[in-house]
């Protein structure tokens, strides 16, 4: 299960994550008042910053005067000098331990004869001065990479020189060039790697086939998306029966063949060094930055149709109940019999006599067998209680200039699920094989909710009146049952989002803790070695075990920066201090997890830029949308037609005070009682697009009834009464009695309008209160009649 820093920089999840700097964070664990602590500076566009401590304790606020001589990304030593009213630490910079050495990306500007670069990453906080002899061949307005020659000080701005000219801001693909440098994504292979890649053969040699099982006559096929270029996996299935009586087996034989990247990428070689540095391929609209050179990723390793390829095969027996009863791994040589797309396979499964099936008639029976084993595996998944949320994924369709043409929902059909179940089965078998052999490896671990997140979720469910709760140690089945029980509610999307957010992010680690979302006791990534380094390591471990050997991590793998501590987890071991095999695997896991998150952030940044550019041409247009998230500072709304998300700031919600209810995840107006919750339907107008900040702002468009409820009655005027026309003559000043009467009338009008608002929002409650007042009035009247009057 995929679990796919300045405010408003990339998306709402990024914004919400940065709210940790303004909430009740506890004081640093590692240092108290006047204590010293080391960490990395996270700048803010407003000039101040936060120190992110190395030990994972609470962030330390640094006011603007403390960040004048430092920049985002610098490593500092800070002393905690005070605590604010909420117990949050504030620091003073004592020492700059290390300056960030990466080039800074920005736009070259000429202002009043002075050349400067405005950093694209607003967290840098200040512009960079460029001497006239340091602009290279760049011109004003171009995007450049700058290397600092003089760091900032208390009395001067940083100075730098242009080291690379990327081009004009409107050039096709410029957003990708910016993102890969902004997030330090390696995008150029070393000369040694390119030289080694060039020496690789164009096709298989006889020596490559030794000690491999020949499966070229087996009808293995690849099933991928229309735009896929590298094919990691091929599948095949046939019915299988064995034995008689009680020992009889009936089911299917499922083969999952994975590209054998480990045959070409050996430990300690340049190819391996570059692949480990990247750790994953990075996917952008219309462009991929691969983990391996194209000769391998799209050539020798890719399971292209009708070409002989080396592979590692997971050969499984699946019972009619969907249980994998036996499996084996072996190296093989295969030849893919066809390259299918998901759409094509879904059409064949939907109509075996249709035109798509007629083109592939000889392979249709094999696809039907794959569908049968998929149904059995899916039934076992349901019995296991794995979490399965239906979420809407989108795909960006670009034009020839790299700009968004349209954004369409990515529909998951039976073919997507078929391949997913086959890959899950192979991944589980690889984890079981390694775990049973007691060999160290990388596991894909996904843990359930922390106690704090569980309590927050429990309170949220109670606030919605959902009787189903969670146990002290919740299981995946409980989450799935909650999802099933609430799927028909109007706020189902909101509830499922909260269920998803309560779980922790999946990571790579050398310690197996199981996969909560998939309800597996052990799980690895085995099926995508072309684009994920952890899969390549798992292949090496399996190959070593098949040869009765052990795979030992190369010492060069420890030459990586220390991964940051994650909330709720122990600090990862320092690479320089990793002494035993277990600690080395933990270092590698932390490195791969961090690079996976980096790739996700870079991809989101590019998508956010493209969406901002897309919406810039729609300023002033009105769209229908759904509230996708509620925060203390406003509402995030996703447009129905365009699948673009933007922010309605709280100041756009009307002239009253709104309270944020964290438990209910809603904003409620104190005067009118109007509520905004996730899943609410709204009309919005595109009011502002900030391309540099990756921010889209909406303005709420209210219907007539809502506008009437929020309208305030001007003082001294009855509702519906027109303002008196001026006669052009001097007005007589009012007496004190008249002024007092005006104040009383205004007070009566305000009370009357408030009652009308409450009555329209809560008609049942208003009717009950009116009946109660009438009963009280009648009782008083009766009592007055029965009471004898005194004579005067």
**pLDDT number for residue 791:** 40
The 10s digit of each residue's pLDDT in 524-534 is 999 999 999 99
273 neighbors 560 (Cβ within 8 angstroms): no
Instruction: Please say if the pLDDT value at position 5 is more than 70.
Output: no
Both tokens assigned to 52: 């992110």
**3-state class of 42 per DSSP?**
strand
**pLDDT number for residue 711:** 52
Mean pLDDT on 770-788: 63
Q: What is the largest CA-CA distance in the chain?
A: 127
**pLDDT number for residue 728:** 41
Instruction: Please say if the pLDDT value at position 704 is more than 80.
Output: no
Show Cβ contacts of residue 203 under 8 Å, excluding neighbours closer than 6 positions.
307, 308
Burial classification of residue 389, based on how many CB atoms lie within 10 Å of its CB (0-12 exposed, 13-18 middle, 19 or more buried): middle
Instruction: Please say if the pLDDT value at position 104 is more than 80.
Output: yes
- Which is more confidently placed, 559 or 778? 559
Band (14; pLDDT cuts 50, 70, 90): very low
Q: Rounded to an integer, what distance in angstroms lies between the CA atom of residue 79 and that of residue 13?
A: 31
Show Cβ contacts of residue 790 under 8 Å, excluding neighbours closer than 6 positions.
none
Instruction: Please say if the pLDDT value at position 69 is more than 60.
Output: yes
Q: Rounded to an integer, what distance in angstroms lies between the CA atom of residue 359 and that of residue 489?
A: 43
Instruction: Please say if the pLDDT value at position 211 is more than 50.
Output: yes
Burial classification of residue 484, based on how many CB atoms lie within 10 Å of its CB (0-12 exposed, 13-18 middle, 19 or more buried): exposed
Q: Which of 458, 364, 384, 374 is nearest to 418 (CA)?
A: 374
Both tokens assigned to 471: 């146990």
- Choose the weakest-confidence range: 405-419, 528-542, 774-788: 774-788
**pLDDT number for residue 12:** 47
Show Cβ contacts of residue 556 under 8 Å, excluding neighbours closer than 6 positions.
268, 273
Band (785; pLDDT cuts 50, 70, 90): low
Q: Rounded to an integer, what distance in angstroms lies between the CA atom of residue 356 and that of residue 376?
A: 25
Q: Which of 753, 764, 668 is nearest to 715 (CA)?
A: 753
**DSSP letter string, 551-605:** ----GGGG-SPPPPPPTTSPPPPPGGG--SHHHHHHHHHHHHHHHHHHHHHHHHH
Mean pLDDT on 615-636: 91
The 10s digit of each residue's pLDDT in 480-500 is 888 888 887 877 777 887 888
The 10s digit of each residue's pLDDT in 215-274 is 999 999 999 988 888 899 999 999 999 888 777 889 999 999 999 999 999 999 999 999
Q: Partners of 648 in the beta sheet?
A: 635
Q: Rounded to an integer, what distance in angstroms lies between the CA atom of residue 184 and that of residue 257?
A: 34
The verdict on pTM exceeding 0.75 is yes
Band (27; pLDDT cuts 50, 70, 90): very low
**pLDDT number for residue 714:** 41
Band (2; pLDDT cuts 50, 70, 90): very low
**pLDDT number for residue 58:** 81
Q: Compute the residue count for the chain.
A: 792
Instruction: Please say if the pLDDT value at position 196 is more than 80.
Output: yes
**pLDDT number for residue 224:** 94
218 neighbors 315 (Cβ within 8 angstroms): no
The DSSP letter of residue 570 is P
**pLDDT number for residue 88:** 79
**Residue 74: HSE in the Cβ half-sphere, 13 Å Cα cutoff:** 26
- Choose the weakest-confidence range: 6-20, 380-394, 405-419, 609-623: 6-20
**pLDDT number for residue 549:** 94
**pLDDT number for residue 717:** 39
Mean pLDDT on 603-625: 92
Q: Rounded to an integer, what distance in angstroms lies between the CA atom of residue 452 and that of residue 469?
A: 15
- Choose the weakest-confidence range: 28-32, 203-207, 456-460, 711-715: 711-715
Q: Rounded to an integer, what distance in angstroms lies between the CA atom of residue 162 and that of residue 116?
A: 10
Instruction: Please say if the pLDDT value at position 25 is more than 50.
Output: no
Band (741; pLDDT cuts 50, 70, 90): low
- Choose the weakest-confidence range: 547-551, 660-664, 766-770: 766-770
- Choose the weakest-confidence range: 98-102, 218-222, 633-637, 711-715: 711-715
**pLDDT number for residue 703:** 65
Q: Rounded to an integer, what distance in angstroms lies between the CA atom of residue 392 and that of residue 305?
A: 31
Distances (CA, A) of 94 to 70, 461, 621: 11, 47, 51
The 10s digit of each residue's pLDDT in 263-314 is 999 999 999 999 999 999 999 988 999 999 999 999 999 999 999 999 999 9
Mean pLDDT across the chain: 84
**3-state class of 241 per DSSP?**
strand
The 10s digit of each residue's pLDDT in 134-166 is 998 899 999 999 999 999 988 889 999 999 999
The 10s digit of each residue's pLDDT in 670-699 is 888 888 888 888 999 999 998 888 899 999
- Choose the weakest-confidence range: 37-41, 165-169, 714-718: 714-718
- Which is more confidently placed, 561 or 219? 219
């Amino acid at each position: 299960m995929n679990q796919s820093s300045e405010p408003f920089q990339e998306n709402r999840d990024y914004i919400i994550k940065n709210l940790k700097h303004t909430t009740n964070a506890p004081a640093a664990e590692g240092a108290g008042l006047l204590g010293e602590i080391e960490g990395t500076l996270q700048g803010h566009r407003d000039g101040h910053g936060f120190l992110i401590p190395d030990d994972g304790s609470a962030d330390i606020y640094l006011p603007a005067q403390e960040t004048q001589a430092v920049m985002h990304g610098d490593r500092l030593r800070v002393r905690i000098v005070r605590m604010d009213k909420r117990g949050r630490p504030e620091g003073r910079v004592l020492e700059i331990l290390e300056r960030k050495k990466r080039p800074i990306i920005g736009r070259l500007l000429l202002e009043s004869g002075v050349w400067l670069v405005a950093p694209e990453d607003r967290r840098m906080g200040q512009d960079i001065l460029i001497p006239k002899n340091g602009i290279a061949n760049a011109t004003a307005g171009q995007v450049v990479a700058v290397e600092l020659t003089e760091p900032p000080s208390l009395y001067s701005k940083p100075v730098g020189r242009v080291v690379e000219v990327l081009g004009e801001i409107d050039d096709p693909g410029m957003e990708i060039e910016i993102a890969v440098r902004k997030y330090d994504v390696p995008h150029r292979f070393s000369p040694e790697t390119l030289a080694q890649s060039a020496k690789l053969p164009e096709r298989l040699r006889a020596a490559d086939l030794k000690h491999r099982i020949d499966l070229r006559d087996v009808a293995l096929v690849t099933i991928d998306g229309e735009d896929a270029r590298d094919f990691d996996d091929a599948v095949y299935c046939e019915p299988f029966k064995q034995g008689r009586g009680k020992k009889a087996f009936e089911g299917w034989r499922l083969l999952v063949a994975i590209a054998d990247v480990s045959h070409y990428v050996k430990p300690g070689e340049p190819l391996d060094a570059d692949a480990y540095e990247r750790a994953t391929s990075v996917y952008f609209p219309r462009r991929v930055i691969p983990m391996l050179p194209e000769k391998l990723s799209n050539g020798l390793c890719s399971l292209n149709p009708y070409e002989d390829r080396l592979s590692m095969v997971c050969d499984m027996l699946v019972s009619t109940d969907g249980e994998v009863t036996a499996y084996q791994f072996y190296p093989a040589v295969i030849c893919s019999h066809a390259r299918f797309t998901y759409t094509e396979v879904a059409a064949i499964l939907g109509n075996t006599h249709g035109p798509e099936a007629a083109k592939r008639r000889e392979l249709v029976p094999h696809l039907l067998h794959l569908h049968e084993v998929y149904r059995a595996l899916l039934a076992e998944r349901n019995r296991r209680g794995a979490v399965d949320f239906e979420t809407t994924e989108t795909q960006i369709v670009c034009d020839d200039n790299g700009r968004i043409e349209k954004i369409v929902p990515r529909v998951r059909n039976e073919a997507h699920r078929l391949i997913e179940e086959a890959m899950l089965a192979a991944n589980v078998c690889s984890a079981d094989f390694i775990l049973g052999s007691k060999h160290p490896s990388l596991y894909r671990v996904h843990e359930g909710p922390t106690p704090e997140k569980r309590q927050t979720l429990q309170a949220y469910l109670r606030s919605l009146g959902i009787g189903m709760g969670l146990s002290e140690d919740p299981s995946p089945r409980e989450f799935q049952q909650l999802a099933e029980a609430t799927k028909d509610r109007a706020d189902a999307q909101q509830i499922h989002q909260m269920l998803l957010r309560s779980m922790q992010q999946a990571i790579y680690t050398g310690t197996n803790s199981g996969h909560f979302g998939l309800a597996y006791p052990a799980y690895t990534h085995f099926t995508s070695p072309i684009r994920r380094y952890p899969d390549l390591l798992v292949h090496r471990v399996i190959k070593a075990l098949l040869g009765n050997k052990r795979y030992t991590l190369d010492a060069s793998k420890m030459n990586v920066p220390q991964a940051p501590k994650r909330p709720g987890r122990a600090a990862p071991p320092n690479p320089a201090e990793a002494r035993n095999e277990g600690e080395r695997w933990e270092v590698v896991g932390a490195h791969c997890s961090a690079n996976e998150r980096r790739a996700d952030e870079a991809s989101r940044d590019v998508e956010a830029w493209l969406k901002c550019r897309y919406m810039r041409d729609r300023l002033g247009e009105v769209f229908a949308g759904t509230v996708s998230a509620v925060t203390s500072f406003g509402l995030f709304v996703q447009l129905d037609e365009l699948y673009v998300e933007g922010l309605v700031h709280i100041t756009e919600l009307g002239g009253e005070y709104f309270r944020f209810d964290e438990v209910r995840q809603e904003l409620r107006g104190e005067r009118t009682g109007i509520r905004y919750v996730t899943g609410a339907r709204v009309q919005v107008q595109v009011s502002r697009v900030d391309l540099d900040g990756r921010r889209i702002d909406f303005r709420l468009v209210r219907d007539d009834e809502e506008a009437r409820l929020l309208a305030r009655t001007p003082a001294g005027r009855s509702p519906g009464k027109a303002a008196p026309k001026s006669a052009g003559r001097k007005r007589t000043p009012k007496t004190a009695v008249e002024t007092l009467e005006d104040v009383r009338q205004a007070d009566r009008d305000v009370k009357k309008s408030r009652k009308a608002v409450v009555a329209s929002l809560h008609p049942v409650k208003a009717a009950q209160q009116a009946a109660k007042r009438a009963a009280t009035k009648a009782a008083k009247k009766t009592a007055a009649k029965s009471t004898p009057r005194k004579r005067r």
